[in-house]
Amino acid sequence: MIRILKKKQLSSDVFQMELEAPHISESRKAGQFVILMLDDEYSERIPLTIADGDGKKGTITIIFQAVGGTTLALSRLEEGEAIAHVLGPLGTPTHIEKQKKPVICVGGGIGVAPLHPIVQAHKAAGNRVITIMGARNKDLLILEEEMAALSDELIICTDDGSKGRKALVTEPLKELCEADEKPAECVAIGPPVMMKFCAETTRPYKLHTMVSLNTIMVDGTGMCGGCRVTVGKETKFVCVDGPEFDGHLVDFSSMMSRMSSYKTQEDEHTCRLEEKAKELAAGGVR
């Protein structure tokens, strides 16, 4: 059982939790994630990026959006309560090395959470970091103070202009690609369509661009195949080969098509697992 030490609501449906997980905090690296199960028998397995961690305290921080049955249930847990299982760290860590030129880090919406440890790691390596954060409006921006403290320059974009520039993140990204001091690389994390257009923005400048993919995932060990994607005309598994890949090689159209395969069923479906479990337990069946 993994205890929830701290809980904070970052926006209307985005939550931050600090979990007691000493073994994970000791070995986790930027770019890695965990898989959670809320209970032992009927819980869905959900992958969440490790947004932060403290090896001395033995804690990790997760940030998630309450959009489905499991994340809604997770958001209702309070400090002192526990999560049944947390598996990790999983995935391949972000490749970090000292760069002579700036590193551009682009985060869209909830994608700022997995971007946070990557910015931390680049700063620890001594790199100059320019961070671009985007959201639909100012109320949906998260970790603004944390990113400002870590970044040499922070550019904020909102769709409605309620904070920062009224622009998509690709606008300042293009400007930085055309600047006199060419960036060393770009990391983009956010909705698939945002990552796709960030990669297309940097492609003409031949700027190495890494994206962190958030596909459907079940087991996190490469066995189920639910997270498979096409990268450079090869099949890759996000959970073990990623989650980060060269954005110029990812087949985003195929990935987004797979991710929307069950959208109709998801929109129409009402989860009855909890209700069914109670019925079975009442009837003496387990």
CATH of the domain at 59: 2.40.30.10
- Whether residues 161 and 84 share a domain: the answer is no
With respect to residue 238, please indicate whether it lies within any of the assigned structural domains: yes
Q: 211 lies in which domain range?
A: 103-259
Distance CA 74, CA 43 (A): 11
CA distances from 31 to 51, 153, 189, 210, 286 (A): 9, 21, 11, 11, 38
Total domains in the chain come to: 2
Question: What is d(CA 82, CA 72) in angstroms, rounded to the nearest whole number?
Answer: 15
Q: How far apart are CA 271 and CA 70, in angstroms?
A: 10
- Does residue 81 share a domain with residue 109? no
Note whether 120 and 240 are same-domain residues. yes
Identify the pLDDT of residue 260. Answer: 72
Residues 158-168, buried b or exposed e (16+ Cβ, 10 A)?
beeeebbeebb
Q: What share of the chain is helix, strand, coil (3-state, %, to 5)?
A: 30, 30, 40
Look at residue 225 and tell me if it is in a domain.
Answer: yes
Cα separation, 96 vs 278, whole angstroms: 48
> Do the Cβ atoms of 215 and 227 come closer than 8 Å?
yes
Residues in the chain: 286
Tell me whether residue 99 is exposed, middle or buried, using C-beta atoms within 10 angstroms of its C-beta: 0 to 12, 13 to 18, 19 or more: middle
Last residue of one domain, picked from the residues 41, 64, 90: 90
Q: In the structure encoding, which two tokens stand for residue 196, read together?
A: 């796709």
Residues 116 and 206 occupy one common structural domain: yes
Query: Is 268 within a domain?
Result: no
Residues 128 and 9 in one domain: no
Residue 190 lies inside a defined structural domain of this protein: yes
Q: Domain containing 253 — which CATH number? A: 3.40.50.80
Average pLDDT, the chain: 91
β-bridge mates for residue 102, sequence order: none
What is the enclosing helix (H) or strand (E) of 255? helix 252-259
d(CA 241, CA 229): 10
Is residue 275 domain-resident? no
Q: Is residue 133 assigned to a domain? A: yes
Same domain assignment for residues 69 and 38 = yes
Q: Is residue 281 part of a domain?
A: no
Give percent of the chain with pLDDT exceeding 70.
Answer: 91
Low pLDDT (below 70) residues in the chain: 261-286
Q: Given this model, what pLDDT does residue 135 score? A: 96
What is the rounded distance in angstroms from the CA atom of residue 278 to the CA atom of residue 74? 19
Residues 134 and 55 in one domain: no
Which one of 69, 90, 111 terminates a domain?
A: 90
Q: In terms of domains, do 73 and 132 share one?
A: no
pLDDT exceeding 90 applies to what percent of the chain?
A: 78
- In this prediction, residue 69 carries a pLDDT of 86
Boundary residue ending a domain (63, 90, 117) = 90
The answer on 127 and 80 residing in a single domain is: no
Task: Give pTM, 2 decimals.
Answer: 0.88
Alpha helices by DSSP H, listed for 8-150, are 22-27, 69-76, 112-124, 144-150
pLDDT at 282: 62
Environment class of 76 (CB within 10 Å of its CB; exposed 0-12, middle 13-18, buried 19+):
exposed
Asked if 253 and 116 sit in the same domain, the reply is yes
Query: Is residue 123 in some structural domain?
Result: yes
Q: Are residues 75 and 118 in the same domain?
A: no
Q: Are 177 and 55 part of one and the same domain?
A: no
